[in-house]
Structure formats: C-alpha cells, structure tokens
C-alpha cells in the first residue's frame, strides 16, 4: 500500500518492481510473472460477481472492476495487475453500439464497412468518455503493491471487430477493405490510432505504470501487409505514449513472422505467443527490446509436473536475461485450475533467476540437457474451450 498522499510517478512508487525492471532490461534478481487474462472466468470469485452483474456493469462500476482486477493478484501473487476492462471499451464509450456477448466476445450492432461509416468514429476524450475506467485506475493505484498495466487494442485488431461485426476466423471483410480501398483503410486506422492513444494516455495519467498494446489478430497478416497497412498506425499509437515514462509492451498472437516488425513499432517489450520458442524470438527481435511470454496456455490444463517442465523450458530459453517477463503465450483459458497458476507463479519466482550483466551462465531451472529435444513443439491437445 502506498503511504504517499499525492500520486507519485510510477517509477518512484514501484522502485523495486521486478516487472518494471525487466521491461527496461534493468538489473533485478527474480524473473517477474503475470498472465494475460489473469482476471476472469478461471476464478470462482470472478464468476460469482458475473452471476450478479453483466460484463459491462463490472467495467462501468469502478469498485467492481477494481475488485476483479485485484482477485488474481491476491490468488496468484503475480508481479503486475492488469486493468479489468476490454479492448472494445473505448469504442463503446464513443457510442459505437458494441456488446460483449457471453461465450462469444464483442459484437457490433452496425459494422463499419464504407468510407461513409468513418464519421461514426469520433475522437475520444479519455476523462469525458472513459471516466469510469479511469476511476478504476485511480482506485487500483491506491490499493495495489504491484504496478498496474493499462492496455488497449491496437488499430488493426479493433478494426477487425468493427468491420467483421464480431469475432472472425478469416478476417475476409477486413482484408477486403484493406485491399480494395486503401485510402478508407488508412483513414479508419488513423482514427482508431487516435482513440487508442488517447485511451492509453488517460490510463497513464491516472497512474498505470506500464501499457500493453494488444494486436491480438495481427498474425493473420503477411509481413509485407502488416508493414504497409498496420505498422504505421501502431507506431503512431506507441509514439503518442512514448514520452510518458512508462514501458510499452506490444503483443500479437501467431506473430512469429511479425516479431521484428512489431519490435520496430516503438516498444520496450514484445509479447511472444507459444508457437515461437523464446530463443528463436530473441534472434528476431533487436537488442534493447525485451521479450514477454510464452508458455502455451493449454499446458496449464494438464498436470502440474508437465506445467513445471514446460515453464522451466521457457526460463531456459529466456537464458536468465534481465529483459524477460514470464507470461503465457496468450490469455488464461477459462477451464484452467487457478491452483496450477498459483504453483506456476511460485515456480517462476523460485527458479527464475536473472543473471548479473556479463555474469555466469543461466542459473535458471534445468540444464539444457535435461530438456527433451523439441519439447517446446510437442502438440498439446486443445480441448474446445471458449475465450
Ligand atoms: O485479466 C485480464 O487480462 C482481464 C482484462 C481483459 C483484457 C486485457 C479482458 C476482459 N479483455 C481483455 C483484452 C481483450 N479483449 C483482447 C486482447 C487480449 C487477447 O488477445 O485475449 C481481445 C481480443 C478482446 C476481445 C474479447 N473480449 C474477447 C475475445 C473474442 C474473440 O474474438 O475471440 C472476449 C471473449 C471478450 C470478453 C471479455 N473480456 C474480458 C473478459 C474476462 C471477457 C469474458 C467476459 C465474460 O464472459 O465474463
């Protein structure tokens, strides 16, 4: 708990935070860990709140949203909290008619598909439009001992929901707009970049100590298309918050071929999904940019000894470098046993040792010889569990 009455700069408040140190590649002792989607349906205490309230009610009620954000911090002892909200919340706030449907995700009343639809994307004033979310940030900053991660959806991922009307497998309408009307495409992403940048800036102004830009579905694109149609807009988002003194994390799913480009968008850390072994990712991302990840989330549906073996492999591949933040390769699956995640945090804290700069070989986890060759690429049977 903070003992200061004025909100101090995040860096001062969290001087000893291993998470913030790792985001900067600064010296610290223990590998920090948090989980994407650490709040939510895997936790009985979350489901209990959702029995009483809709998703939107939780997000719009600062006390409830703060409570749901704190639940996984208490349960798991993670090194960072992540604001409970959604990537579409800023779009709801400017009146786009988005609902979060249980078991589905965000659904848009009237999808955006033509140049004429662009006018529906007005500017976002964070304090005016997202006051309830920012009040949650303020409550959390008072309450938390660990840094709070703010977040937003990147322009491409948001555009995919707006154009498709909801979750998609092929993104064919999104890509159709991209390839048939490039001018409208760039104008759409430019507007989204302004909205997203404003949302992140608002969260940082209220005390978020780091931000993550989720370009969850960018992996649907070939690198040349990502570079031409998406990167300039994500770059502009990250630039907008570049001078605000908090580390930025840039994440996408299935983004192995995009990692170098995503790193070049202007970020302190790139999030890596489970398909790319962390040491391979390291070779694709320039020095000076850290890595976050990347245990296969479905491994956590299995027995803990297997989770431990795979977590040790992630640590080994991270090599004890000071610029690694342990995470899953994507969000916690709802069927995950919270006990497994609690044990996983303990393991990372007990075994994830950071080497002193220029120090000896990784003291992390099992020696390479103990790891079965190709263990990281074992297919994990993937029971159909919704997001
Ligand atoms: O702990 C946390 O991370 C909770 C906060 C959080 C975050 C960071 C939620 C709550 N959503 C998100 C981001 C988010 N939302 C992303 C980026 C992260 C990712 O890739 O997983 C995306 C793509 C969404 C869109 C979304 N919202 C989906 C996915 C739909 C799809 O296309 O597959 C879903 C299911 C939602 C609803 C939602 N958001 C959050 C929760 C807990 C839920 C489920 C709601 C419920 O049933 O209670």
Band (218; pLDDT cuts 50, 70, 90): very high
Domain count, the chain: 1
Q: Could you tell me the distance, in angstroms and rounded to a whole number, from the CA of residue 358 to the centre of ligand 1? A: 40
Top-confidence residue, 31 or 359: 31
**In the predicted model, what is the mean pLDDT of the chain?**
91
In a domain, 387, yes or no: no
In a domain, 80, yes or no: yes
Residue ranges making up the domain that contains 247: 10-377
**Residue 162: which CATH number?**
3.20.20.210
The SS3 assignment for 153 reads: strand
In a domain, 2, yes or no: no
**Active-site residue, selected from the candidate residues 13, 41, 275, 284:** 41
Ligand 1 pocket check for 49: Cβ under 6 Å: no
| Model confidence at 63: pLDDT above 70 | yes
pLDDT, mean of residues 64-83? 98
Q: Is the entire prediction scored with pTM above 0.85? A: yes
Top-confidence residue, 383 or 192: 192
Find the range with the poorest average confidence among 17-31, 72-86, 90-104, 353-367.
Answer: 353-367
Task: Determine the pLDDT at residue 371.
Answer: 34
Q: Are 274 and 328 in contact (CB under 8 A)?
A: yes
Ligand 1 pocket check for 107: Cβ under 6 Å: no
- Which atom of ligand 1 is the closest one to the Cα of 38? 1
| Model confidence at 252: pLDDT above 80 | yes
Tell me the CA distances in angstroms from 374 to 57, 277, 305, 378, one per residue in order. 45, 10, 18, 7
- Which atom of ligand 1 is the closest one to the Cα of 103? 47
pLDDT, mean of residues 58-75? 98
Active site residue 50: yes
Tell me the CA distances in angstroms from 72 to 81, 130, 303, 379, one per residue in order. 8, 24, 20, 28
Task: Determine the pLDDT at residue 268.
Answer: 98
| Model confidence at 267: pLDDT above 60 | yes
In a domain, 299, yes or no: yes
Task: Determine the pLDDT at residue 13.
Answer: 82
Q: Are 327 and 36 in contact (CB under 8 A)?
A: yes
Ligand 1 pocket check for 40: Cβ under 6 Å: yes
The SS3 assignment for 148 reads: strand
Q: Are 151 and 87 in contact (CB under 8 A)?
A: yes
**Active-site residue, selected from the candidate residues 50, 120, 173, 187:** 50
| Model confidence at 240: pLDDT above 70 | yes
Q: Which DSSP letter does residue 322 get?
A: T
- Which atom of ligand 1 is the closest one to the Cα of 387? 35
Q: Are 285 and 250 in contact (CB under 8 A)?
A: no
CB under 8 Å, gap of 24 or more: what pairs does 97-101 form? 98/161, 99/56, 100/54, 100/55, 100/56, 101/166
In a domain, 385, yes or no: no
In a domain, 319, yes or no: yes
In a domain, 4, yes or no: no
In a domain, 1, yes or no: no
| Model confidence at 385: pLDDT above 50 | no
pLDDT in tens, 295-313: 999 999 999 999 999 999 9
């Amino acid at each position: 708990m903070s003992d200061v009455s004025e909100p101090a700069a995040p860096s001062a408040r969290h001087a000893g935070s291993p998470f913030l140190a790792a985001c900067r590649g600064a010296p610290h002792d223990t590998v920090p860990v948090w989980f994407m989607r650490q709040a939510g349906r895997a936790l009985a205490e979350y489901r209990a709140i959702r029995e009483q309230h809709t998703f939107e009610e939780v997000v719009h009620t600062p006390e409830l949203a703060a409570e749901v954000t704190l639940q996984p911090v208490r349960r798991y002892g993670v090194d960072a909290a992540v604001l409970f909200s959604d990537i579409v919340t800023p779009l709801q706030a400017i009146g786009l008619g988005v609902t979060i449907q249980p078991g589905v995700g965000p659904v848009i009343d009237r999808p955006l598909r033509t140049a004429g639809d662009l006018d529906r994307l007005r500017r976002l004033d964070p304090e005016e439009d997202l006051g309830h979310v920012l009040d949650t940030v303020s409550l959390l900053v008072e309450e938390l001992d660990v840094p709070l991660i703010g977040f937003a959806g990147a322009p491409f991922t948001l555009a995919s929901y707006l154009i498709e009307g909801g979750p998609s497998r092929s993104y064919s309408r999104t890509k159709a707009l991209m390839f048939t009307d490039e001018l409208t495409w760039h104008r759409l992403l430019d507007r989204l970049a302004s909205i997203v940048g404003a949302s992140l800036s608002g969260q940082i102004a209220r005390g978020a100590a780091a931000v993550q830009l989720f370009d969850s579905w960018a992996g649907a694109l070939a690198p040349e298309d990502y570079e031409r149609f998406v990167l300039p807009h994500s770059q502009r988002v990250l630039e907008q918050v570049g001078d605000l003194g908090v580390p930025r994390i840039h994440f996408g799913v299935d983004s192995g071929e995009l990692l170098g480009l995503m790193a070049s968008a202007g970020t302190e850390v790139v999030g890596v999904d489970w398909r790319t072994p962390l040491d391979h990712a390291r070779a694709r991302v320039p020095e000076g940019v850290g890595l976050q990840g990347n245990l296969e989330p479905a491994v956590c549906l299995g027995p803990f000894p297997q989770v431990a073996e795979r977590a040790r492999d992630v640590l080994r591949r991270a090599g004890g470098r000071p610029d690694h933040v342990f995470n899953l390769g994507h969000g916690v699956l709802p069927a995950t046993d919270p006990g497994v995640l609690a044990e996983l945090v303990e393991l990372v804290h007990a075994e994830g040792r950071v080497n002193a700069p220029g120090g000896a070989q990784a003291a992390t986890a099992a020696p390479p010889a103990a790891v079965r060759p190709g263990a990281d690429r074992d297919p994990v049977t993937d029971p159909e569990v919704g997001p």
